[in-house]
Every structure is written in structure tokens, then in C-alpha cells.
């Protein structure tokens, strides 16, 4: 970017590259950890890794870098712009960052509408009788449907114009004027962004809102003791085997059983296998960890910090939605940045601005934490369409299709979180960064911090530069007011959902080591685990007349 000091460009580039590398490594680790060991599809997993990496990189880099650039343009000691921050240079920065956002939104749209659907359908068409060319052709045909949806959204965005707004009042509406300007292609991209954000709001309610509190509770709540887990599963296994023995005692010849008895026999045998899988999982999870006690002590402050993050985010949402809207009669709520005196996230960022770059690291960590809460919400709730659960997210047993859908969920969540951070969680900081302006003469501002005021909508336009994303999102809200209205009411519902999740997490029982063993686990999965962790208890053969299945310790007979 011409005119920008080399050190600022170097810092922005270095942090972005480091964040991208960390995001790629974290995405690869996440996908490898959850991908089904028996059904690995390298192409599908690569699509999931790249999609997650793009979303995480955008969360850690895009908005924090935007905030960093506008913050760097202001001199905190005088309240005036830096010598290099003249209007042409600031305009050049705005155009460059705007181009980056447009490219990011376009890549995310293409990834969600074309790349992920193609990978999904290509994997679904896997068949020994079909060639790769046949699978490719079938996947392309089915992907055309999502491509048509993308084209329709772009055409609607080209013709949709913002409503006329009454720009009266004492506030300088240069912020709004910038939001209403833009090219036709950008209008199409922003309309697609608006539609994505509507879907992102639904994802936010289903996954992020409950995950905000369920994640720290999951980290803080200890596992059940090993003895308790083993006794509970052993009791269930003994009860199942006792019922099997009773059934075989009544009719030892399976060929003479009625259809109802056959069904009961199959159910009991499946329940027995499930209990043995649980027992194997518990015993496998009892392997000693290197530096286990030390890690528990060292990680406790981090777990508490996660709970503090969650509480601060919810308080920030409540404080923002209760704030009075700016003086624009026709402006939708949560379009223009509204600072709240009791917003803990904004207040913390404003305080830490004097210890740069701690404020930027905290800001990026909040965004990444909300994405982590979303992923935990997906793990708890499962990948669903309405009330139908399509896939479960489990370590080493997640279908490749589920990981692709999780990628789309994360992309949708990211877009909703960008608005969430800019308009709700930290509206003051995400719009103006750490910029201040001089509200008196230069001498007074240089000698007394009282006269250096944080930037807001009432500040002179030449003294304060809003972030590019805040202007883009304001334009989305002004172009499609229904999106802003839906977003406002989403916050109210999200607070209620988070409160219910907190209550559920506090009163629910402690976690079991075998909590993720489900009815859908196959015997081959059980055999894989036995091979990996060593020989465990295996199902006993059906009992003959007069015989009893072996009962495990804990049986009183």
C-alpha cells in the first residue's frame, strides 16, 4: 500500500502469514482428529481442511488487520492523524482493504456454493461400478443447482438499491454516505453476503449460542471417576446379559423363535455389543498421560478464561441491544456502531489499547473463541436440518460428508460473527479501533488527555476513519434492512438460548469417557478400536440351555 510506513505493512503481513499457517495446521489437526479412520477420502478431507483454514484465517486476520490499520493512522498522544495519514493515502488503504474483503467474500461464496457441493456429491457417487469420469459428470450436474442459486443472488444484488434515508440530526453522516457508495459488482457480492448472514444467524442460534457456555463447562467439568464409569457400564452389561439368558432359557433354538422374539434377541445382542464398546472406550481412556497432573494445573487458568470470555460476550450483547439507536429515524438497529458504557469487551479493548499489540491479540482471540464455541456446539447438537440429525461429530468416526457440512457451517458462522463483532460485541473498537481525536486546541490536547476523545459518530470525519468492514456491513443493513432487523432479534433469542445452555450445563451429570459411543457404531469400528488399544472384553457366545453368560465384576449373583 503506497504511503503506508514499511513497519506497519511488515507487521500486518507477518501477522497475517503466521495466522494463516496456524489456521492451516489447526484445520488439518481438527479434520484428522474427527475424520473416520475407515473411510478416509483425501480429496474430500483436503477440501474441508482448506475451507476451515480460510475461515479461521479470515477470523484471525481480516477484521483485526482492518482495525490495526485505522488505529495506526491516529496519534494517541496528540489526537491528530499521523503525518503519513493524508486523505489520498487513507483512500488507497481503504480501496486495498475493500478489495481484500470483496475477494474474501467471493472466495467464501464460491467455496460454499461450488467447491463443497461438488466434493460432497463426488464422494456420494462413489461406486465400484462407476469410473472417475462418471462420478465427475454426475457431481457437476448436481452442483449446477447450487451454481444457479448463486447466479440468481448475484442478479438480485445488481438491481437492489438502498432505501432513501432521512439523514437529519446533529450527527455527521459521512459514515452513512460512504456506506451508500459502491460499484455494481460489490452490490451483488454484498447481497450474497446478506443472504449468507441470514443463514449465519440461524447457525449462530443453533450452534454458537449454546456453545458459548457449553464449551467452558465442558472444559471445567471433570470426567466421572474411572470406577464409577466401569460400575455403571458393568451393571448395564450384566442386566443385558441376564435378559439374554432369560430369553435363551425360554427358547434355546433360535429357529423356533417368533419374529417378536427374534427382534428382541437382536436388540439385546446389539445392546450387549454397545456396552462392550463403552467398556473398551473407558479402559482405553485410562491410559496414563505424560505430565497429566501438571497439564491439569497449567490448563485451569485457560479454562477459567474461556468462561470469562463467554460471560463477557453475553454481557456485551445485552448491553448493546439495550443501548439507544443513533439519531437516524429510518436506520435499522445494529447498523450504525453504538457504544455502551457497560460493554466489558469494548472497555477491555479500550484499556489495552495503550499496551499494543495486546488489544489486537485479544480482539482476534475473541473471534477465534466464538468459532471454537461453534464447533463445540456442532459436536453437541450434531449436523442437523431442522430437527433431523444427519451426522454426529465424533473423534475418529465422523463421515467425510459431515466434515464438508461443518466447513459450510463454519463459513456461515464466520460471516455472522463479523457482523456480531462489529455491531454488537465490540462496536466501538471494531469501528474505530484505538483512534482518538482532539476536541480542543492542539496545545491542550498535547498536554491533557482529557481533551483527547475516543472516536465515534459525532467526531469530525477528517479526524476519525472507520474500518472498511463497518462501512460494508452498514451498507448491507441499509440495502437489505430486513437482514439488520432479523439480526437484532437474533441477539435477543441468542441470549435466551445461551442462558438455557448454561442452566443445562450446570445441572447435567458429569461426562462419561464413553459418552460418544452411539447405536450407529458398527462392529468393525469396535474391532478397529480393539486393534488400536489392545484386546478388551469381547461378546460372549450365545448361551445354551442350562448355561449362563459370564457376568462381569459387580454382579451379585
- The candidate with the shortest Cα–Cα distance to 167, out of 339, 336, 329, is 329
Sequence-ordered list of residues with C-beta below 8 angstroms from that of 521, at least 6 positions apart, any chain: 274, 277, 397
CA–CA gap between residue 200 and residue 502 (Å, rounded): 22
Give phi and psi for 452, each to the nearest 5.
-100, 110
Give the other-Cβ count within 10 Å of 199's Cβ: 17
* Cell output for 440: 480542543
**Tens digits of residue pLDDT in 84-116:** 888 888 888 888 888 888 888 888 888 888 898
With a cut of 80, say whether residue 466 has pLDDT above it. yes
* Cell output for 444: 491542550
With a cut of 90, say whether residue 280 has pLDDT above it. no
Sequence spans of domains, the chain: 6-222+311-432+470-506
Helix (H) or strand (E) run with residue 385 in it? strand 383-385
Which of 298-302, 309-313, 335-339, 515-519 ranks highest by mean pLDDT? 309-313
* Cell output for 357: 499489540
CB 273 within 8 A of CB 319: no
What is the biggest distance separating any 2 CA atoms in the chain, rounded to whole angstroms?
Answer: 101
Strands 388-391, 436-438: pairing is unpaired
3-class secondary structure, 216: helix
Share of the chain above pLDDT 90, in %: 6
CA–CA gap between residue 490 and residue 495 (Å, rounded): 9
Candidate from 105-119, 183-197, 395-409 with smallest mean pLDDT: 183-197
Q: What is the pTM of this model?
A: 0.76
- The candidate with the shortest Cα–Cα distance to 405, out of 248, 207, 224, is 207
With a cut of 50, say whether residue 545 has pLDDT above it. no
Amino acid at each position: 500500500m503506497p504511503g503506508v510506513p514499511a513497519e506497519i505493512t511488515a507487521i500486518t503481513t507477518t501477522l497475517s502469514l503466521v495466522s494463516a499457517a496456524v489456521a492451516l495446521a489447526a484445520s488439518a489437526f481438527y479434520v484428522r482428529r474427527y475424520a473416520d479412520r475407515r473411510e478416509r477420502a483425501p480429496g474430500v478431507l483436503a477440501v474441508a481442511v482448506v475451507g476451515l483454514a480460510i475461515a479461521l484465517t479470515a477470523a484471525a486476520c481480516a477484521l483485526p488487520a482492518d482495525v490495526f490499520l485505522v488505529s495506526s493512522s491516529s496519534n494517541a498522544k496528540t489526537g491528530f492523524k499521523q503525518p503519513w495519514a493524508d486523505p489520498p493515502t487513507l483512500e488507497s488503504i481503504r480501496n486495498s482493504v475493500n478489495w481484500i474483503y470483496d475477494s474474501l467474500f467471493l472466495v467464501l461464496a464460491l467455496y460454499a456454493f461450488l467447491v463443497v457441493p461438488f466434493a460432497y456429491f463426488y464422494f456420494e457417487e462413489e461406486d465400484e461400478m462407476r469410473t472417475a469420469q462418471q462420478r465427475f459428470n454426475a457431481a457437476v450436474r448436481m452442483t449446477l443447482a447450487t451454481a444457479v442459486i448463486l447466479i440468481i443472488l448475484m442478479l438480485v444484488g445488481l438491481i437492489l438499491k438502498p432505501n432513501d434515508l432521512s439523514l437529519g440530526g446533529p450527527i455527521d453522516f459521512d459514515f452513512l454516505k460512504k456506506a451508500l457508495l459502491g460499484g455494481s459488482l460489490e452490490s451483488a457480492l454484498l447481497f450474497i453476503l446478506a443472504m449468507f448472514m441470514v443463514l449465519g444467524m440461524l447457525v449462530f442460534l443453533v450452534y454458537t449460542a449454546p456453545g458459548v457456555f457449553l464449551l467452558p463447562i465442558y472444559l471445567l467439568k471433570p470426567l466421572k471417576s474411572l470406577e464409577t464409569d466401569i460400575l455403571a457400564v458393568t451393571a448395564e452389561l450384566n442386566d443385558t446379559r441376564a435378559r439374554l439368558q432369560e430369553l435363551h432359557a425360554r427358547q434355546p433354538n433360535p429357529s423356533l423363535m417368533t419374529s417378536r422374539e427374534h427382534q428382541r434377541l437382536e436388540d439385546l445382542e446389539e445392546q450387549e455389543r454397545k456396552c462392550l464398546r463403552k467398556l473398551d472406550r473407558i479402559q482405553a481412556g485410562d491410559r496414563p498421560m505424560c505430565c497429566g497432573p501438571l497439564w491439569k494445573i497449567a490448563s485451569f487458568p485457560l479454562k477459567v478464561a474461556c468462561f470469562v470470555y463467554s460471560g463477557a460476550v453475553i454481557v456485551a450483547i445485552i448491553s448493546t441491544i439495550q443501548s439507544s439507536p443513533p439519531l437516524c429515524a429510518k436506520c435499522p438497529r445494529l447498523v450504525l456502531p453504538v457504544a455502551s458504557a457497560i460493554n466489558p469487551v469494548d472497555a477491555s479493548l479500550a484499556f489495552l489499547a495503550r499496551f499494543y499489540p495486546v488489544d489486537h491479540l485479544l480482539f482476534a482471540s475473541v473471534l477465534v473463541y466464538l468459532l471454537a464455541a461453534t464447533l463445540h456446539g456442532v459436536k453437541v447438537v450434531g449436523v442437523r436440518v431442522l430437527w433431523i440429525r444427519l451426522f454426529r461429530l465424533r473423534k475418529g468416526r465422523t463421515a467425510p460428508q459431515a466434515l464438508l457440512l461443518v466447513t459450510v457451517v463454519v463459513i456461515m458462522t464466520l460471516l455472522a460473527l463479523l457482523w456480531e463483532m462489529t455491531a454488537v460485541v465490540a462496536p466501538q473498537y471494531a469501528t474505530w479501533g484505538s483512534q482518538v481525536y482532539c476536541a480542543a486546541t492542539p496545545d491542550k490536547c498535547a498536554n491533557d488527555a482529557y481533551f483527547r476523545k475516543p472516536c465515534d459518530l459525532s467526531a469530525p470525519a477528517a479526524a476519525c476513519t472507520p474500518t472498511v468492514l463497518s462501512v460494508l456491513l452498514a451498507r448491507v443493513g441499509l440495502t437489505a434492512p430486513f437482514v439488520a432487523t432479523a439480526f437484532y432479534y437474533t441477539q435477543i433469542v441468542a441470549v435466551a438460548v445461551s442462558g438455557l445452555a448454561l442452566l443445562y450445563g450446570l445441572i447435567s451429570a458429569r461426562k462419561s469417557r464413553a459418552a460418544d459411543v452411539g447405536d450407529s457404531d458398527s462392529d468393525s469400528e469396535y474391532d478397529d478400536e480393539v486393534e488400536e488399544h489392545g484386546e478388551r472384553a469381547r461378546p460372549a457366545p450365545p448361551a445354551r440351555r442350562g448355561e449362563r453368560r459370564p457376568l462381569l465384576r459387580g454382579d451379585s449373583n
